[in-house]
Amino acid sequence: MKKISIAVFALAVVVLTAGVFTSCSKKKSNEIIVKVGVTGESHAQWDVVAKNLAKEGIKIELVKFGDYTQPNQSLSDGEIDLNAFQHYAFLNNEIKVKGYKLSPIGKTIIAPIGMYSKKIKSAKELKSGDKIAIPNDLVNGGRALLVLQAAGIITVNPKGGALPNVSDITSNPLKIKFVEVEAAQTPRLLEDVAASFINGGHAVDAGFNPSRDSLLLEKQEEGKDNPYINVIAARTADINNPTYKRVVEAFQTDEVEQVILKEYKGVYQPAWK
């Protein structure tokens, strides 16, 4: 009887172990993978989202891109499922210029663009003929020019609206020379120019605190119509995808808000409330 009991117990253990293995395998095989395109290196907020969604069988895979020109193309081509790197103004311009069938499905953060320097300590120290690096995309380059106009350094033609370019400059007393480069490259030009305009994410990655280290900083007025609120974007055909909606819900939580405020020291502000 003792031998029979041991055999039955052993069999039970095998069955139980097999059941656990089968259950885990099934869960893994049913796992939904969502590839999210991002830029920069700091993504603590997405670590929280990934951790919480993993409990629901949704695996978040971050796909990192080196510059702003790639994530929308990749999303349009179906190489990723969502992206989260751009504000409304940038997305709308990409749709207009490149014909992407993409749509925003949720707000994330607000991140101002700022001017930084390793050579001067104040915008007042800019001198005749100095070079300033700005992003070469219409939206962020335009933001930089408007910041300079607000500081009284240049004047731009009102016809340029919210998206002026260098050709719209009507007054440039210091004869500032503008070096237009891809946004991700702006921190790398700090050794070669008097100052450089760097987007929030790239500034943080470069070790800057925009509110503390910038010489000039874009003023943000929060509100639902703010064109510089960052968003999660999807292909327009997928805007009602329940999994993608769940990703947005998992991002727009108090837990993620606290991580954003703590990790980025107030540099980024949650924009969904």
pLDDT of residue 221: 61
Specify the higher pLDDT residue, 200 or 196: 196
Task: State the average pLDDT for the chain.
Answer: 89
Q: Extract the tokens encoding 19.
A: 């059941």
Q: Which structural domains are found in the chain, ordered by start?
A: 32-111+223-270 (3.40.190.10), 114-217 (3.40.190.10)
Ranges 15-24, 117-126, 236-245: which has the least confidence:
15-24
Angle at 232 between CA 147 and CA 74, to 5 degrees: 95
How far CA 240 is from CA of 52, 223, 273, in Å, comes to 21, 24, 21
For residue 260, pLDDT beyond 50: yes
For residue 131, pLDDT beyond 80: yes
Using pLDDT thresholds of 50, 70 and 90, give the confidence band for residue 266: confident
Q: What is the tens place of the pLDDT at every residue in 63-106?
A: 999 989 999 999 999 999 999 999 999 999 999 999 999 999 99
Dump strand ranges (E) for the chain. Answer: 32-39, 58-65, 82-87, 102-110, 114-116, 131-135, 155-156, 169-171, 177-181, 195-198, 216-217, 229-235, 269-270
The SS3 of residue 85 is strand
Using pLDDT thresholds of 50, 70 and 90, give the confidence band for residue 14: very low
Burial class (CB in 10 A: 0-12, 13-18, 19+), 253: middle
How far CA 12 is from CA of 5, 53, 130, in Å, comes to 10, 33, 79
Q: How far apart are CA 269 and CA 109, in angstroms?
A: 5
User: What percent of the chain has a predicted confidence (pLDDT) above 70?
Assistant: 87
Q: What is the tens place of the pLDDT at every residue in 22-78?
A: 333 234 568 999 999 999 888 999 999 999 999 999 999 999 999 899 999 999 999
> Of the candidates 49, 38, 34, which has an alpha carbon nearest to the alpha carbon of residue 81?
34
Q: What is the tens place of the pLDDT at every residue in 157-175?
A: 999 888 899 999 999 999 9
The SS3 of residue 143 is helix
